[in-house]
C-alpha cells in the first residue's frame, strides 16, 4: 500500500509538468525602446500577465527586457529585418502574486527578426510590430522556445532627438522543446505502467 502511495505522489509531481506542455503565455506593456540601425533595445517594460496570472490594477508582475542585433535589411521607417546576433530576451518576476521571483525566462532571439510598419498617421506617428522566434531556459532549468510580438510606437520628430519609442503591448508564447516533451511522456508512461503492475499484481 505504501508503494502505491509513493507512485501516486510521483504522478502528482509530474502532472503539473504535463500542464506546461500547452505552453506559457505572457504579456507586457510600457517601458522605453531605443530604435537605431544598431538594434532595438527595450528597458523597463512591465510584465502584465504570466500563465493566467494578471497584475493587480496599477501594479506589475515584473519586467520584460529585450534587445536585437543590427538592422540586416530594409530601414527603420519602412520596415525590414533585424539580426538575432547578440540579442537577448529576459523576463523577471517580482513574486507575490503566484509568479516566480527572479529570472523567469532567460534567452535570445533565434533567426531573423521581423520589423513591420503597422500604421503611420500624419507625418510623424508610427506604429511597428517587432516579431521573432525566441529560445532559452525557464527558472526551472527547462529549455523552451516560442514566439514574441511587440507592438512599438515612435514619434519620428521626437525620435530625431533621442531615438526613443515605447511599447503598446507585447505578447509572448513559450513551449517546451520537443525533446523535453518526449522525456516527460516517457516518464509518465513508466510511472503509469509501474502503478498498474503494483495495483493488479497485488
pLDDT at 11 over 90: no
Q: How confident is the model at residue 178 (pLDDT cuts 50, 70, 90)?
A: confident
Q: ∠ CA 172-176-181 to the nearest 5 degrees?
A: 155
Measured in degrees and rounded to the nearest 5, phi and psi for residue 31 equal 85, 180
pLDDT at 87 over 80: yes
Task: Identify any residues that bridge with 136 across adjacent strands, giving them in sequence order.
Answer: 107, 144
Measured CA to CA, the distance from residue 131 to residue 148 in angstroms comes to 6
What mean pLDDT, rounded, does the chain reach? 86
Q: Quick one: average pLDDT of 146-153?
A: 98
pLDDT at 64 over 80: yes
Q: How confident is the model at residue 186 (pLDDT cuts 50, 70, 90)?
A: very low
What local confidence, expressed as pLDDT, does residue 200 receive? Answer: 55
What local confidence, expressed as pLDDT, does residue 197 receive? Answer: 57
pLDDT at 72 over 70: yes
* Predicted TM-score of the model (pTM): 0.79
Amino acid at each position: 500500500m505504501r508503494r502505491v502511495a509513493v507512485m501516486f505522489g510521483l504522478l502528482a509531481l509530474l502532472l503539473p509538468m504535463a500542464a506546461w506542455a500547452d505552453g506559457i503565455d505572457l504579456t507586457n506593456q510600457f517601458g522605453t525602446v531605443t530604435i537605431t540601425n544598431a538594434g532595438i533595445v527595450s528597458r523597463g517594460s512591465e510584465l502584465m500577465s504570466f500563465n493566467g496570472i494578471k497584475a493587480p490594477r496599477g501594479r506589475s508582475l515584473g519586467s520584460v527586457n529585450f534587445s536585437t542585433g543590427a538592422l540586416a535589411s530594409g530601414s527603420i521607417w519602412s520596415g525590414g529585418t533585424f539580426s538575432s546576433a547578440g540579442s537577448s530576451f529576459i523576463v523577471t518576476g517580482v513574486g507575490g502574486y503566484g509568479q516566480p521571483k527572479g529570472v523567469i525566462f532567460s534567452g535570445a532571439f533565434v533567426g531573423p527578426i521581423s520589423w513591420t510598419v503597422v500604421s503611420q498617421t500624419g507625418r510623424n506617428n508610427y506604429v511597428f510590430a517587432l516579431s521573432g522566434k525566441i529560445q532559452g531556459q525557464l527558472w526551472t532549468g527547462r529549455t523552451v522556445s516560442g514566439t514574441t510580438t511587440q507592438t512599438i510606437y515612435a514619434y519620428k520628430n521626437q525620435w530625431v532627438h533621442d531615438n526613443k519609442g515605447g511599447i503598446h503591448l507585447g505578447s509572448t508564447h513559450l513551449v517546451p522543446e520537443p525533446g523535453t516533451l518526449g522525456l516527460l511522456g516517457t516518464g509518465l508512461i513508466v510511472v503509469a505502467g509501474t502503478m498498474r503492475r503494483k495495483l493488479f499484481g497485488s
